[in-house]
Amino acid sequence: MQHTIDDFSNYYATPGKVEIFYPKVVLQKYIFEILNSKIILKNTEIQLDIEDTFELHCYEHIFSNIMMILIDIFNPTTPTTRYKYLSLH
């Protein structure tokens, strides 16, 4: 638990500047790790359709916040809607 809290704190302690980053890495390394318990509890599978080389030039922490909120909101509550497909182009 402390490891997750430290990761979360370190990630959001970074300065808010426009930068180039790979959204797939951010989703896999930070967002899915933070939301992992909810994803497991709701028996959800999230499939990413994002090229490894796809880059964004924006505020990484804002992108992360938006994606975390969207994934959390659309995480299913019924077993019939357990698969989620996330695509960025």
Geometric angle at alpha carbon 38, from 66 and 40, rounded to 5°: 130
pLDDT tens string 48-66: 888 899 999 998 888 888 8
Name the band, by pLDDT with cuts 50, 70 and 90, for residue 23.
very high
Residue pLDDT, tens place only, 11-21:
566 566 889 99
pLDDT at 15: 60
Helix (H, G, I), strand (E, B) or coil at 89: coil
What's the Cα-to-Cα distance from 22 to each of 8, 50, 51, 67, rounded to whole Å? 18, 9, 9, 13
Please state, in angstroms and as integers, the Cα–Cα distance from residue 47 to each residue in 2, 10, 11, 40, 87, following that order: 28, 26, 23, 14, 8
Residue 13 has what pLDDT? 62
